[in-house]
A and B are shown apart, each in its own frame.
Chain A
Amino acid sequence: MKKYLMFFKLRFATGLQYRMASVTALTTQLIWGIMECLAYKAIAEAMGTGLPMEYSSIVTYVWLKEAFLALFLTWTGDKDIFSLIQNGGVSYELCRPVSVYTMWFSRIVGGRGAEALLRCVPVLICAFLLPGTLRMGLPVSIEAFVLFLVTLVLAVGVAVALCMFVNMLCFFTISPQGWRMVLLGSADFFMGNVIPLPFFPERFRKVVEWLPFPYMQNVPFRVYSGDLPVAELGPVMAKQALWLVILVAAGLFTWKQVEKKIVVQGG
């Protein structure tokens, strides 16, 4: 545990060192969030009562998305670890007396966590201070907030497990970078990064709900604002947990194959 904490600390310190980087990142995220909120405002006005999600919930969704961006990065994140597999640096990892899958899993979670923590504070402060219709709301209830945290943890688990699974799968192809982009690029849309899931047409959404994608950021961000009522959360959380188990199992299985391949080929 101590070494993972070390990793977290290191990431945090490096993050602080680049002050320009943090200022620019914050500015970028604020511009992004504000523009998105403004667009949804116009859409809300045009749709009137037909809006599938309350405007205030959308604003909250947008700001949470910006604040916890680092937690749910798909194909742009975790490059360092997966370049290890490709350039043979993985042999070093295999020499260490720990389970590689567990270690990588925690390293990715730690890395994303540190990054998110560094970024979410200024973003959230600004989001709470913005004027009028751009301001982010407080959680609807204490239960909702607690469940937000619980589902957030589950969601990060699902997201990381999925990324690891896909990345290891791509290792078996000739062009891992290309496949990663194709597979994880589309995940962005299905997990509600482009538009929130309630905006999907009914039938399309029903299909998507059979996939692991809606059990990432979609759940906690909507629980927070009450768009996903606490009462209906039981089955959703069960599905989150189920997908977590499935994806970890799939990841572990694939990792075993990767390991075999590395041992046979010599890296």
Chain B
Amino acid sequence: MITMEHVCKSYKVAKRKAGIGEVCKSFFRREHEVVHALQDVSFTIGEGEMVGYIGPNGAGKSSTIKILSGILTPDSGSCTVDGRIPWKNRTEHVKNIGVVFGQRSQLWWDIPVIDSFELLKEIYSVSKENYNRKLEELTELLQLSEILKTPTRQLSLGQRMRCEVAASLLHEPKILFLDEPTIGLDAVSKLAVRDFIKKMNREHNTTVILTTHDMQDIEAIAERVILIGKGQILLDGSLQELRTAAGGQDAQESLNLDHVMAALYKKLDIM
């Protein structure tokens, strides 16, 4: 379903230093620095897999997601998603993917949620029957019936996130990218979102790629974990393998996952 081979990506960023003198100097000349966001990243993800994509801040997670969703062109390497190269033929590609950004909204702020959905239906050219069927299904699974008529600005974060997830699935994408979908949610909403994602995967064989800092998300959803640090894939395997890699034998088993991750980040020196 998804293959990435030897993908590299680097950015040029301007250096800034503190102090009035430095500011004045940079007024005339600026120095640049090359940041390697991704260095030779390769992996394959099969249809219907649920993969947790983790790593510390700035490791290259969002660059990968952007490349897979066609927003970013890599410097080198190849990548295919469902037989297509994402950054070529963008419109065809994005019809097959759904993306949820936990920190940004795709719903229109001042109008009822259902109206946002209607517009998305038009944008993705979803037929009336498919739309109605899908909406019914999502409404039931995510318990949206009460809140569909409410303007987005009046929803609680948990309610809004449920609507965001639904909005990303209206066009029945084969692949779903979730970027920190449970950030800031209360326990009930978190569980609801997780359960729903699992159910979508079971019933529609949707491929799910999840980036998060919440290790419970990973534990609940991901069968497979890819760990990235400083632009390189460091580990690709099950959660159990991750624990082992952290060096934790029996004693570490009882520790919670956050400690395991922290130990692993330190050990691999990727912070």
Q: Which of B14-32 contact A (CB under 8 A)?
A: 20, 23-24, 26-28
Instruction: Tell me which residues from 11 to 38 in chain A have a Cβ below 8 Å from any Cβ of chain B.
Output: 13, 16-17, 19
B140-154: which residues lie under 8 A (CB-CB) from chain A? none
Docked pose: A13 CA to B22 CA in angstroms = 11
- CB-CB < 8 A to B20: which residues of A? 13, 16
What CA separation (Å) do A16 and B27 show in the bound complex? 7
Q: Which of A82-118 contact B (CB under 8 A)?
A: none
Give how many A-B residue pairs fall within 8 Å (CB-CB).
12
Residues of A within 8 A of B27 (CB): 16-17, 19
Chain A 218-237, CB-CB to B under 8 Å as 1, else 0, gives 00000000000000000000
Proximity bits, A63-79, B CB within 8 Å = 1, else 0: 00000000000000000
Q: Which residues of A contact B23 (CB under 8 A)?
A: 13, 16-17
Per the bound structure, the CA–CA distance linking A209 and B20 in Å amounts to 45
Closest to A19 in B: B27
* Chain B residues closer than 8 Å to A13, beta-carbon distance: 20, 23
In angstroms, Cα B19 to Cα A16, docked, is 12
Which B residues are CB-close (under 8 A) to A16?
A: 20, 23-24, 27
* Shortest distance between the CB of B214 and any CB in chain A (Å): 29
Give the CA-CA distance A17 to B28 in the complex, in Å: 10
Query: B30 — nearest CB in chain A belongs to which residue?
Result: A19
Within the complex, the shortest CB–CB distance from A22 to chain B, in Å, comes to: 8
Alpha-carbon separation in the docked complex, A19 to B24 (Å): 9
User: A13 to B23, alpha carbons, bound, how many Å?
Assistant: 8
Q: Contact string, B33-72, partner A, CB cutoff 8 A, digits 1/0? A: 0000000000000000000000000000000000000000
Give residues 180-237 of A contacting B (CB, 8 Å): none
Chain A residues with CB under 8 Å of B24's CB are: 16
Q: How far is the CA of A17 from the CA of B17 in the complex (A)?
A: 11
Mask: chain B, 150-188; 1 = CB below 8 Å from A; 0 = not: 000000000000000000000000000000000000000
A71 to B250, CA, bound (A): 69
The 7 closest A-B pairs by CB, nearest first: A19-B27, A17-B23, A16-B23, A13-B20, A13-B23, A16-B27, A16-B24
Q: List 5 A-B contacts (CB under 8 A).
A: A16-B20, A16-B23, A16-B24, A17-B26, A19-B26
9 additional A-B residue pairs with CB within 8 Å, beyond A13-B23, A16-B24, A19-B26: A13-B20, A16-B20, A16-B23, A16-B27, A17-B23, A17-B26, A17-B27, A19-B27, A19-B28
